[in-house]
Amino acid sequence: MNTRTEVMQHDPVAPGLYSVQGVNPFEDATPTRNAKLPSDARIILEMLDRINSGQIHITLPDGQVHHCGIGNEGPVVDMIVHDWSVFGEMIARGDIGAAEAFIEGLWGTDSITRLLTLVACNRNALSKAIHGRRWQLLSSWVLHRLRANTKRGSKRNIMAHYDLGNSFYKLWLDETMTYSSALFCDHEHPDQADWEALPNAQLAKNNRMLDALDVKPGDTILEIGCGWGGFAEQATQRGAHVTGLTLSPAQQDFAQTRAERGGWQNQTEFLLTDYRDMQGQFDHIVSVEMFEAVGERWWPTYFRTLKQRLKPGGRALIQVITIDDTLFRQYRRGTDFIQRHVFPGGMLPSPSVFCEQAGRAGLKVTDDLAFGLHYARTLGLWHEAFCERLLEVKSQGFDDRFIRLWRFYLAYCEAGFRAGSIDVHQFTLQA
């Protein structure tokens, strides 16, 4: 059995788990492989038959059930397709087409996380379905480029995600209000962590960064992308002064209120400022999962800014999601579901590209911690919490379509970490 998937949990029960109505259509289905199929469906099913780790049992719109996959080991996942057009969307537009069809309720599954992980672990066999036809993906590629992270575009793109409302994120983030990977104490078995372990794991992640930087009382820290102020709060407990940058008014307001209530407002300032407009120098710079939103065009600017804002001999710690080096070339030529629907204008670096870009700016990578399976578990816990609070999500005005989008997003990311196609690193840089 694939060790990356064997410990995965089933998705939490939620309305719309199998279909728009939320009922289980698999119970009375009869398997068959003989009926005539539309050409798009036949292409996808033949492709899925190449799966060599796990199986997918697919119920088609006419009630047929196809058992896809030649592997006897790995997860078995049920999927139901309500409309034949789903197969054409998968062929034409890859993960974007599959995601949008799921968002519209045109297909469902007993576990969106296990299904997407199975697909990710069988990437080579399913590459055509994952990436789609290049010419039909052109419109998504163009739209992604039009949402580039200029100073104006960056603010618009960030607000599109983070200004959904502090109350929305409070529903399913833990009490630390941290929207980045945790670092669990059991490094070998992060999947054994439960919800109660998540706050301490978020604090441990921040403490690990402060230790790596060797932060001392009186040190100044520039935090590029300060979130809701969790890291700043811990840094002030060590006597540091933190200047936090954000482009989200909602996050700025929350962080300022948090500092005032905690009594550490004199050690922090939270600015609604683009990192490119910041002046001055600092002992340290921290940036947690903000680099992904910079955009490839501005990577040299980002690293030059780090170099300019650090005092001589200063250190930066950048926590960043990366894509596998072997996948980077193809990834950078296209547009995926995350870029299209969740983080417009963003792009992941590969580990080697990140280090190369840092080196060009005169920054040396002195330490590198990778902990992708910790992020997989973090996402799984967020997904569980999100599904437990669906009534409250809806009470805030979010509809079923948004809920399916958000569930696909959380599962899509978890699948990537479990399959190893993406990872998360803490890179320590020396000026």
Q: What are phi and psi of 138, to 5 degrees?
A: -60, -40
Burial of 96 (0-12, 13-18, 19+ CB in 10 A): buried
d(CA 178, CA 205): 10
One DSSP character per residue, 74-129 reads S-EEEEEES-THHHHHHHHHHHHHHHHHHHTTSEEES-HHHHHHHHHHTTTTTHHH
Residue 221 contacts residue 243 (beta carbons within 8 Å): yes
- Work out whether the CA dihedral 280, 205, 3, 76 comes out positive or negative: negative
Sole residue written with tokens 């979130």? 227
Say if strands 364-370 and 282-288 run parallel, antiparallel, or are unpaired.
unpaired
Q: Residues 121, 355, 387, 413: which is the catalytic one?
A: 413
Token couple for 208: 């690990």
Burial of 95 (0-12, 13-18, 19+ CB in 10 A): buried
d(CA 61, CA 19): 12
Q: Is-catalytic flag, 68?
A: no
**Residues with catalytic roles:** 413
